[in-house]
Copies of this chain bind each other. A is one copy, B any other.
Amino acid sequence: MSDLDTIDAAILRILQQHGRMSNADLAAKVGLSASACSRRVDILEKSGVISGYHARLSNKALDYKMMVIVHISLSGQFAKTLAEFETAVKRCPNVLVCYLMSGEYDYILRVAAKDLEDYERIHRDWLSALPHVVKINSSFALREVIDRPNVGL
């Protein structure tokens, strides 16, 4: 697709960490003029390398202190079964990540909860209520070692 040179990589590295840095500051950091820098960022956005800019919220500040990894098995692998499950799981706001997996389990989920009581509620009202589920396995995260949105450049 688009070949990234050293300067592009530098731009991406900085914008990953400081998504609201002004173009003028960014240009200075990567050693370009403002116009040249703006042109490059524009290309990176339009080519889809930069898919968007987002404020990151502190789960802790919002009182979401628990992270739970949930493994789920369904009663079959029919397309209709998967589609119904996925439609339902998308409705649960506490599910941050959901992947269809190969291997022993069908889906793996990452679920945020305020505390154990909150997770019990989520498990009861949301997870157990998902269609076609035959097995649920919850593992609790004791500590977050790494959490980055993208691969290091």
Contacts and interface: CB of A to CB of B under 8 A. Distances in A.
Interface of A: 1-2, 12, 15-20, 47-64, 67, 69, 86, 89-90, 93-105, 107-108, 112, 139-153
Given A49-B62, A53-B53, A62-B150, 12 more contacts: A15-B55, A50-B58, A53-B54, A90-B145, A96-B149, A97-B147, A98-B145, A100-B141, A100-B143, A102-B141, A108-B139, A108-B141
Taken together, the copies of this chain in the complex come to 2
Nearest to A107: B145
B64 A151 contact: yes
Contacts of A15: 54-55
Contact of A12 (B20, B57, B100): B57
17 contacts: A12-B55, A16-B57, A19-B54, A20-B53, A47-B61, A51-B61, A53-B53, A56-B149, A62-B150, A93-B153, A98-B147, A99-B142, A100-B143, A102-B141, A107-B145, A108-B141, A112-B151
Nearest to A67: B99
Given A19-B19, A20-B19, A108-B69, A99 B53 contact: no
A49 to B, nearest CB: 4
